[in-house]
Amino acid sequence: MGVETRVIGTFGYLAPEYAQSGQITEKADVYSFGVVLVELVTGRKAVDINRPKGQQFLTEWARPFLEEDAIDELIDPRLRDRYCKNEVYCMLHAANLCIRRDPNSRPRMSHVLRILEGDMVVELGSVTAPSSDSGSRSWRMLNEQQHYQDYSSPAQQDSQRAVEGKRSYNALRASWDRDK
C-alpha cells in the first residue's frame, strides 16, 4: 500500500512514480537506494547540471551502461584498479535492479541486502537463496577471498584469481543477464 502526500525529497533520488504521483511505496525507497549505489561506484552526484546534456541525471546516464554490462565505463576513474571486481559487480547488479523504471520489477530491500552481503547463490543462471548456512558461508568466503586477493601481490593474484575470481565473476554476470 502506498501513502499519498505532497512530493518532498531530493531530486535525483526520487523514484519516477513518486515524483509524478506523490505516492510513496517501499519500491520508491528501493529506487533511491539504487541511486546511492550508483553514486558510490561512479563517484558522481545524482544530479549535476554542470555535466553535458544526457549526463546530468545519474540514473539516465548510467542505465545504458548497466544494461550493456559496460562496468568499466561506470567505475570512478579515481579508483584505478584498487577495488574488488566482484564487490563492484554485486553493487552494480543490485543498483541495476533497484533503478528499474517499473516499480513492480524492482526487488525488495531484503533481496538487495542479500545480493550485497553475498548471501545469494548463483545456480544455473539464477540468483536464489542458499539452501543451508554452509552455502551462504562458502559464498561469503569466496567473496572475502577475492577481496583479499585484490590487495595481495600481483603474482599471488594471478594464480588465485584464475580459479576462484573468474568463476564467481562469471556466475554473477550470468545472473545479471538473467535479471535484465
- Model pLDDT for residues 115-147, shown as the tens digit of each residue: 999 876 433 233 444 443 434 444 444 545 454
> How many domains does the chain contain in total?
1
State the pLDDT at residue 71. Answer: 87
State the pLDDT at residue 119. Answer: 78
Report d(CA 41, CA 58) in Å as an integer.
11
Report d(CA 165, CA 10) in Å as an integer.
38
- Model pLDDT for residues 81-92, shown as the tens digit of each residue: 899 988 999 999
DSSP states of the chain as a string? --EE----S-TTTS-HHHHHH-EE-HHHHHHHHHHHHHHHHH---SB-TTSPTTSSBHHHHHHHHHHTT-HHHHS-GGGTT-S-HHHHHHHHHHHHHHT-SSGGGSPPHHHHHHHHHT-PEEETTEEE--SSHHHHHHHHHHHHHHHHHTTS-HHHHHHHIIIIIHHHHHHHHHHHHHH-
pLDDT over threshold 60, residue 61: yes
- Model pLDDT for residues 2-45, shown as the tens digit of each residue: 655 555 667 788 898 888 788 888 999 999 999 999 999 999 99
Q: Which residue has the cell 552455502?
A: 135
Grid coordinates given for 46: 545524482
Winning range, highest mean pLDDT, from 67-81, 121-135, 158-172: 67-81
Q: Taking residues 168-177, what's their average pLDDT?
A: 62
Question: What single DSSP character describes residue 78?
Answer: G
Provide the CATH number for the domain around residue 9. 1.10.510.10
| CA distance to 18, 57, 75, 78, 123, per residue, from 147 (Å) | 37, 31, 17, 19, 22
3-state secondary structure of 20: helix
Which of the four pLDDT bands, split at 50, 70 and 90, describes residue 173?
low
Residues of the domain holding 90: 3-179
State the pLDDT at residue 126. Answer: 38
What is the maximum alpha-carbon separation in the chain?
A: 57
State the pLDDT at residue 139. Answer: 45
State the pLDDT at residue 179. Answer: 62
Q: Do residues 37 and 95 lie in contact, with contact meaning Cβ atoms separated by under 8 Å?
A: yes
**CA 135 to chain centroid:** 22
